[in-house]
Amino acid sequence: MRYFLPLLLTIPLLPCQAETITFDEDNTIINMGNSGASHYRINGFNDPVLALHSGVAYTVNRTSGGHPLVFAFNDTAFPSAVAYSGNLEAGTAFRQSSVLRSGDPGWLFRVAPNASGQFTFPADLEGKDVFYYCEISGHPGMIGKVTIEPSVAEPTVTPAIRSLSLSGTTLNLSITGDPNASFAVKSTATLSAGEFPTLETTSPAVVTTDSNGNATVTLQIASRPSLFLRVEQLP
């Protein structure tokens, strides 16, 4: 007689992490549909985390009817404005408080069905718990998280002397750098020390680039036999 020993395998259930979709200054359009009254749908995902940047003008397009969209956050003046329980990252969290309205602390903005809304998150919302959810309280599953990162800084342009010409003792310089930035021209008679200790007197007195990052300046070299110049951007 054969005996069979039943074997029970226990597989741990791991929480499902929500997809994160990043939108930046090169990708500012957020098209948001929905899956019935269960989820918002963005780029084919249910209630993904939206990774956004402050200072960027985003446009949210509601591509379906119903389910008015609200963006809100936990404000210290109204700490129970947006309370959640469950595993938000798995998309099972739900709103426990009443619907926020315009003017309520913690209320950011609303996008009506089949409509669009444009918004820019200020820097003081960086790091706050911001959420998007359906305004209809009976649709608790339609909720997602928003992370707000600092704005992406524009790359700086290393200041440089683009060209120069000498007329007598007057040296004419054309420089490039960041637009609308102030610069100083420093000099040294020798490169052995690796420092530029002398602040040159220039005309104009303050070297400021135009909107394209260009500037022209003159200085007097007098009878100095040698001169090494460097352009430094001022704070």
Q: Report percent pLDDT > 70 for the chain.
A: 80
Q: Where are the domains of the chain?
A: 20-149, 160-233
CATH architecture assigned to 160-233: Sandwich (2.60)
For residue 21, the SS3 value is strand
Burial 101-122 (b: 16+ CB within 10 A, else e): eeeeebbbebbeeeeebeeebe
pLDDT of residue 141: 83
User: What are the pLDDT digits (tens) for 72-97?
Assistant: 887 666 555 555 554 554 444 455 55
Q: Edge-to-edge strands of the sheet including 29-35?
A: 45-46, 39-42, 29-35, 57-62, 116-120
pLDDT average, residue stretch 94-118? 76
118 token code pair: 């444009």
User: What are the pLDDT digits (tens) for 51-68?
Assistant: 999 989 999 999 999 998
Answer whether 20-149 and 160-233 agree in fold.
yes
Contact 141, 158 (CB under 8 A): no
pTM flag (> 0.75):
no
Single-letter amino acid, residue 60: V
143 forms bridges with which residues in the sheet?
Answer: 133
Please give, one letter per residue, the 3-state secondary structure of 27-53.
CCEEEEEEECCCEEEECCEECCEEEEE
CATH topology of domain 20-149: Immunoglobulin-like (2.60.40)
User: What are the pLDDT digits (tens) for 1-40?
Assistant: 444 444 444 434 444 567 899 999 889 999 999 999 999 9
Classify residue 64 by its DSSP letter: S
User: What are the pLDDT digits (tens) for 144-183?
Assistant: 889 999 887 666 778 888 898 989 889 999 999 888 889 9
pLDDT of residue 136: 83
